[in-house]
Amino acid sequence: MPANLTPDYFKAEEWYRSATTHDEKILAMEKMLAVIPKHKGTEHLRADLRRKLSKLKEGPAQKGKTKQVDIFHVPRTGAGQVVLLGMPNSGKSAIVHALTNAKVNVADFPFATHAPVPGMMKYEDVQIQLVDMPPITDDFVTPGQVGTYRTCDLIAVVIDLAEDVEEQLLILLDFLETRNLLADEETPAVDAVGNSLGRKTFCLCTKADIALDGAFELAQKSCDRPLEFVKISPETGEGMDAFRRFVFDQLEIIRVYAKPPGKPPDMDDPFTLPIGADVHDLARTIHRELAEKLKSAKAWGTDVYDGQNVHLTHVLHDKDIVELHFS
Ligand SMILES: Nc1nc2c(ncn2[C@@H]2O[C@H](COP(=O)(O)OP(=O)(O)OP(=O)(O)O)[C@@H](O)[C@H]2O)c(=O)[nH]1
Ligand SMILES: [Mg+2]
Strand partners, 267: none
Question: In the predicted model, is pLDDT for residue 2 greater than 90?
Answer: no
> Hey, what domains does the chain have and what are their CATH numbers?
7-57 (no CATH), 81-251 (3.40.50.300), 253-326 (3.10.20.30)
Is the pLDDT at 64 greater than 70? The verdict is no
pLDDT above 70 covers a percentage of the chain that reads: 96
Atom 8 of ligand 1: nearest residue by CA position: 91
The residue nearest atom 4 of ligand 1, judged by CA position, is 207
- 66 pLDDT above the threshold of 80: no
Q: Which residues line ligand 1 (CB under 6 A)?
A: 86, 88-94, 106-108, 110-113, 135, 206-207, 209-210, 233-235
Would the pLDDT of 54 be above 70? yes
Pocket test residue of 84, 90, 141, 172 for ligand 1, highest count of atoms within 8 A of CB: 90
**Cα(309) to centroid of ligand 2, in Å?**
51
Q: What is the pLDDT of residue 291?
A: 82
- Expressed in angstroms and rounded, the spacing between residue 107 Cα and the centre of ligand 1 is 6
Prediction pTM value:
0.91
CA of 209 to the centre of ligand 1 (A): 12
- Closest atom of ligand 1 to 132 CA is 20
Residue 1 pLDDT exceeds 70 = no
pLDDT > 90 in the chain, percent: 79
Ligand 2: centre distance to CA 105 (Å): 6
**Over residues 109-135, mean pLDDT:** 96
Query: What mean pLDDT value characterizes the chain?
Result: 92
